[in-house]
């Protein structure tokens, strides 16, 4: 019944208890992540679905706009995709609100480019991996955490389903899941390595994101719809939309 003494592990045991970057990456992958290669049918349907949005041919968008023009103020499927993606992302992940500026909030420019490049580089593995490793490094400087990439994917699938409606079927969805799984496989290890090497600096920057959001919520500097719920996610969404001059 005495104090517990420390145990000095042999060097080989210490090595066995440590995790590699790849092992950490596998633990942090979102539940939808898959290793299976994409089939030609899945790739074809995913590519066609994006082209429907980019070319303004997403019939579901026009159906939504006709049924509820007040809450569908966008003029094209692409604009609607960008608008709803950002709002969805901030709804489920409000701490990201301070990272968005007026341009990215309104147009979703960065996301358009990312998705467009993803589609264009599907048949060039080296180019695909290289570009997303570079993108992850730039995101490191913005204090984007490895776990946030999984949230991005969930919001991407949700928005594609919203804009495409019935065209976003099970095969199309699996195509996008496999495409984004490739993105995650390239980016998450880069993010984890950076986090391990820059723990204090990253913690400070992420804390600043929390404080920026909390200060606004504490002061109740929000524009709410009369029927809006009072959850933090809705408050953050309203704050982000108001501060960037958008309709929530």
Query: Worst-scoring range by mean pLDDT, 118-127, 150-159, 212-221?
Result: 212-221
For residue 93, give the nearest of 17, 180, 156 by alpha carbon. Answer: 156
Among the ranges 42-56, 81-95, 135-149, which has the highest mean pLDDT value?
42-56
- Assign residue 220 a region: left if phi > 0, alpha if psi is -120 to 50, beta otherwise? left
pLDDT score of 247 more than 60: no
Q: What is the pLDDT of residue 101?
A: 62
**pTM score > 0.85 for this model?**
no
**Residue 148, both tokens:** 């946030």
Contacts of 75 (CB under 8 A, 6+ apart): none
What does the buried/exposed string (b/e) look like for 129-164 if buried means 16 or more CB atoms within 10 Å of the residue's CB? bebbeebbeebbeebbbbebbbebbbbbbbbbbbbb
Give the integer Cα–Cα distance in Å for 180 and 115: 10
| pLDDT over 70 (residue 2) | no
Lowest mean pLDDT among 13-22, 124-133, 230-239: 230-239
Q: Residue 73: helix, strand or coil by DSSP?
A: coil
Please say whether the beta carbons of 82 and 159 come within 8 A: no
Q: CB within 8 A of 68, min separation 6: which ones?
A: none
Q: Please determine, for residue 17, whether its predicted confidence score (pLDDT) is greater than 60.
A: no
Query: Residue 185, class by beta-carbon neighbours within 10 Å (0-12 exposed, 13-18 middle, 19+ buried)?
Result: middle
Q: Note the pLDDT of residue 77.
A: 93
Which is higher by pLDDT, 165 or 198? 165
Q: Where are the alpha helices (DSSP H) in the chain?
A: 11-17, 21-28, 40-54, 59-67, 77-92, 102-107, 109-120, 125-140, 146-164, 170-197, 199-219, 232-243
Q: pLDDT per residue over 177-198, tens digit each? A: 999 999 999 999 999 998 888 8
Checking if the pLDDT of 6 tops 60, the result is: no
Question: Which of residues 191 and 241 earns the better pLDDT score?
Answer: 191
Better pLDDT: 6 or 195 = 195
Candidate ranges 63-67, 77-81, 105-109, 112-116; pick with highest mean pLDDT: 63-67
Q: Report the C-alpha gap between 175 and 48 in whole angstroms.
A: 11
Three-class SS state of 1: coil
* Structure confidence at residue 29 as a pLDDT band (50, 70, 90): very high
Structure confidence at residue 137 (pLDDT): 93
The distance from CA 35 to its chain's CA centroid, rounded to whole angstroms, is 19
Task: Quote the CA–CA distance of 43 and 25 in Å, as a whole number.
Answer: 25
pLDDT digits (tens, 9 = 90+) for 46-66: 999 999 999 999 999 999 999
């Amino acid at each position: 019944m005495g104090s517990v003494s420390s145990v000095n592990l042999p060097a080989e045991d210490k090595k066995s208890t440590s995790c590699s970057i790849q092992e950490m990456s596998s633990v942090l992958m979102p539940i939808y992540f898959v290793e299976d290669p994409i089939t030609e049918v899945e790739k074809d349907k995913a590519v066609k679905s994006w082209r429907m949005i980019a070319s303004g041919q997403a019939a579901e968008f026009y159906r939504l706009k006709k049924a509820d023009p007040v809450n569908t103020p966008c003029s094209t499927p692409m604009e609607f995709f960008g608008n709803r993606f950002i709002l969805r992302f901030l709804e489920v992940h409000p701490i990201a609100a301070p990272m968005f500026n007026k341009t990215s909030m309104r147009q979703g420019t960065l996301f358009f480019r990312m998705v467009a490049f993803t589609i264009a580089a599907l048949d060039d593995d080296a180019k695909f991996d290289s570009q997303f490793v570079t993108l992850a490094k730039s995101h490191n400087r913005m204090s984007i955490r490895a776990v946030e990439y999984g949230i991005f994917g969930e919001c991407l699938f949700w928005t594609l389903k919203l804009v495409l409606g019935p065209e976003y079927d099970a095969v199309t969805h699996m195509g996008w899941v496999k495409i984004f799984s490739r993105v995650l496989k390239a980016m998450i290890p880069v993010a984890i390595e950076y986090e391990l090497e820059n723990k204090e600096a990253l913690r400070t920057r992420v804390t600043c994101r929390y404080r920026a959001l909390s200060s606004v919520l504490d002061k109740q500097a929000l524009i709410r719809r009369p029927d809006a719920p009072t959850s933090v996610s809705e408050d953050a969404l309203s704050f982000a939309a108001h501060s960037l001059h958008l309709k929530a």
